Amino acid sequence: MRMTKTQTRYVCQECGRVAASYMGKCPQCGSFSSMVEEIIHDEPATKSTAVRGLTGRSAPRSIGDISAGDEDRIRVPIEEFARVLGGGIVPGSIVLVGGDPGIGKSTLMLQMAMEMASPFGSAQGKRVLYVSGEESERQIKMRATRLNNGKKELPKNLLLVTETNLEIILNHISEVKPELLIVDSIQTVYLSSMDSSAGSVSQVRECSSQLRELAKTSGISVFVIGHVTKEGTIAGPRVLEHIVDTVLYLEGDRFQAYRLLRSVKNRFGATSEVGVFEMREGGLVEVTNPSEAFLAERMVNAAGSSIAVTMEGTRPILVEVQGLTSPTQFGNARRTANGVDFNRLLLISAVLTRRVGLKLAEQDVFVNVVGGLQIDEPAADLAIAAAIASSWKDVSVKADAVLIGEIGLAGELRMPSQMQARLREAQKLGFKTAIVPKALRKGEGYPKGIEIVEVRSVDQALNAALGSKEKPKSPPHMA
Ligand code: TYD
Ligand code: MG
C-alpha cells in the first residue's frame, strides 16, 4: 500500500523551473519572487492521457510513404499572415500567437477566423471554432461586425463559445469537429484536475500539451493566443515555446498604427519572417509595401533624418531614423533610444565623439525610428550615426541616399549580409545613392541603377552623406 501524501513544489512563473523549496531568485532565469507554490498529487497530472486516449494509435511507416507536401497547407487569404506561417496553415499544427495585451492579437485571430470561415474566400468556408476566455460571445460578435464593416453577412461556419474549462472545450471540439481552433487566451483556460490556478505555468503547460495532442491526433490546426507580461503572476508564453510548432509574436508600439507579426520559431518554414499590418478603424490592414509606408511622412531635407535599410527576415525594409542632439541642461548628458538598442546608441555616440570628433559629451542625444519599428540590426548603425551627426551639424543628409553598414569601435565599417536585396529595395523606392562599406572581397556585385559610394570609415561615410551647409558640392566619390 502506498501512502498518499500531499507534496508541494515551487514553480518559477517566468521560466517554469521547478524547485523543492522556495527560492527568492530563480536559479534558471534569475527572476526575483517568481516562485509560486503548487500542490502536487501522488498521481502527477502531467501526463496527457486524456487526449492521447482518443485516437492514440501509432505505427512506423516508411519515410517515402509519408506525405509532407506543401500542397497540404491550408491557404490563408491574408497574405502577410501566410508569409509568416511559411505559406499557409499546416493541418494538425499548433501555433502560438504571443504579444503584449492590447496589441491586437484577438483582432488578428478573429479576422483570420472570419476569412477562413467565409464561403466566398479561397479558404471556402472552413469550420472554425473560436474559444474565448477573455470576452463574451456578444463582445466578439460586435467586434466581428465592426471588422466585417457591414460588407457581407458573418460566416455561418464560424462558431463562438466563451469557455475556460479545457475538458468542456475538448467536448465542444469533438461535437463541432472544427478544422481550425482558436483559443483566446491560453492564460484563461484550465484543467480542473490540477490545483493551480489558470495562468500558472503548470496549467499553461499542461493545457497546451493537451491542445498539441489534440492537433496531432485529429489534424485540427490550433492557434493559441498568449499574453506576454513582465509580472510573474501570469505565466509568460515562454514555457509554451517548446510545446508548440510555431511561435508568432505580434509587436508594435501601442500608440502607433503599425504592427509586425514576426515568426520566431517555425517547424514548417523560415523563421524571422515578418508580416506588416496597420491597425485601423476596421481592424488590421495588410501593408504590402512596408518601406513606402514607413517613409510616407518623411520630411525630405530636414536635418537629423537618414534612411536605413533593415532586413526583416528575407524582406528588406527602408525606415527613417531620426536623431536629435541638444545641449545638456543638468550635468549628465542623456541618451534616449526609441526603436534602436540603447547600448548600440551609446557605442555609436562614443565612436562619433572619439573617431569623428563630434562633441557629444555635453549633448543629449535622442534617436527615434519612425513608425514604431524596432531595429536590432547593426546594419543600421551607419544610418543612426548619420542622423545624429546631421542634427549636430544642422546639415541634412542627402535626400536620395540610403546608408548601410555596421560600425566598429575604431570607426571602421563592416559589410552586413544580404546587400543585394537591400540595395534592390532602395533602388525600387527611387533612392539614387547608397553609402556602403567598401567590399574587401568581390561579392555578387551590386544591382545597376543605384550609385554605390564605398567608404571605409564613419568619417568618410558622413562626408559622403552630409552636404555642406554653405555651398552644396558635387557628390564626393571614394576611391
Ligand atoms: P485586441 O485584439 O483586443 O488586443 P489583444 O487581444 O492583443 O489584447 O486589440 C485591442 C486594440 O486594438 C484596442 O486598443 C483597439 C484596437 N482596435 C482598433 O484600433 N481597430 C479595430 O478594428 C479593433 C477590433 C481594435
Ligand atoms: Mg485579446
- What pLDDT band is residue 444 in, cutting at 50, 70 and 90? low
Measured over the CA atoms of residue 238, residue 244, residue 247 and residue 250, the dihedral's sign is negative
Q: How far is the CA of 290 from the centre of ligand 1 (A)?
A: 21
CA-closest residue to ligand 1 atom 25:
283
CB of 252 closer than 6 angstroms to any ligand 1 atom: no
Three-state DSSP class for residue 218: helix
Residue 45's pLDDT is 46
For domain 73-288, which CATH number applies: 3.40.50.300, 3.40.350.10, 3.40.470.10, 3.30.1600.10? 3.40.50.300
Three-state DSSP class for residue 463: helix
Ligand 1 probe mutation, 100, 107, 182, most atoms within 8 A of CB? 107
Residue 18 has pLDDT above 90, yes or no: no
279 Cα nearest atom in ligand 1: 19
Q: What angle do CA 18, 22, 24 make, to 5 degrees?
A: 105
Specify whether the CB–CB gap between 9 and 20 falls below 8 A.
yes
Q: Distance of CA 452 to CAs 127, 378, 430, Å? A: 53, 20, 14
What is the pLDDT averaged over residues 464-468? 84
Structural domain spans, the chain:
6-41, 73-288, 293-478
- What pLDDT band is residue 220 in, cutting at 50, 70 and 90? very high
Q: Distance of CA 17 to CAs 23, 45, 235, 397, Å? A: 11, 17, 12, 51
Cα–Cα dist 303/419, whole Å: 26
Q: What single string gives the DSSP state of each residue in 29-84?
A: T--BS-EEEEEE-SS-S---HHHHHHH-------GGGS---GGGSBP-S-HHHHHH
Cα–Cα dist 213/380, whole Å: 43
pLDDT tens digits along 340-353? 999 999 999 999 99
Specify whether the CB–CB gap between 397 and 471 falls below 8 A.
no
When mean pLDDT is compared across 36-40, 94-98, 309-313, 454-458, the lowest value belongs to 36-40
Q: Which of 448, 445, 455 is nearest to 412 (CA)?
A: 455
What is the pLDDT averaged over residues 274-302? 87
Q: Which of 267, 283, 91 is nearest to 181 (CA)?
A: 91
103 Cα nearest atom in ligand 1: 7
When mean pLDDT is compared across 216-225, 229-238, 438-447, the lowest value belongs to 229-238
Reported CATH class of domain 293-478: alpha beta
Q: What single string gives the DSSP state of each residue in 307-354?
A: EEEEEETTEEEEEEEEEEEEE-SSSS--EEEESB-HHHHHHHHHHIII
Ligand nearest to the CA of 249: 1
Specify whether the CB–CB gap between 344 and 381 falls below 8 A.
yes
Mean pLDDT of all residues belonging to the chain: 86
